[in-house]
Amino acid sequence: MSIDDHSEPPSLVTGETLDLHRALISLREELEAIDWYQQRADACTDPELKNILLHNRKEEVEHAVMLMEWVRRCGRDFDQQMRTYLFTERPITMIESGAANGEPAASASQSLAIGSMKGK
């Protein structure tokens, strides 16, 4: 997918949505590059080349994190979710406010359930 791949015509979305799209596409490309460099470094038999590949991987991590921070600042709803889930040692599935007493948090389908449609 490239920057030109949109699910809706660009003329129908806001400039903010287009910028978020650019950031998310760029983030995906950086994450792919991290994965490629890591795999190549793992497979590499030449120590000097391996060090170069790992150096390049580290640069891609920096780029990805910079994009994540931009998305946190500018992407609707990302800030709160990142503040909730990042930089904590708690089990990820127990972070939601509904998790108590060591029980996993309710899934989205459970927490949004309407209940019985039968009249009482």
Number of domains in the chain: 1
Cα dihedral across residues 102, 83, 26, 107: positive or negative:
positive
How large is the angle between the packed helices 15-43 and 47-74, nearest 10 degrees? 160
pLDDT at 96: 82
pTM for the whole thing? Answer: 0.75
Q: What is the pLDDT along the chain (120 residues), one digit of tens a residue?
A: 455 688 899 899 999 999 999 999 999 999 999 999 999 999 999 999 999 999 999 999 999 999 999 999 998 899 999 999 999 999 999 988 655 445 555 544 444 545 555 554
119 within domain boundaries: no
71 within domain boundaries: yes
61 within domain boundaries: yes
74 within domain boundaries: yes
Residue 98's domain spans which residues? 13-111
Pick from 30, 11, 13, 31: which is nearest to 21 by CA? 13
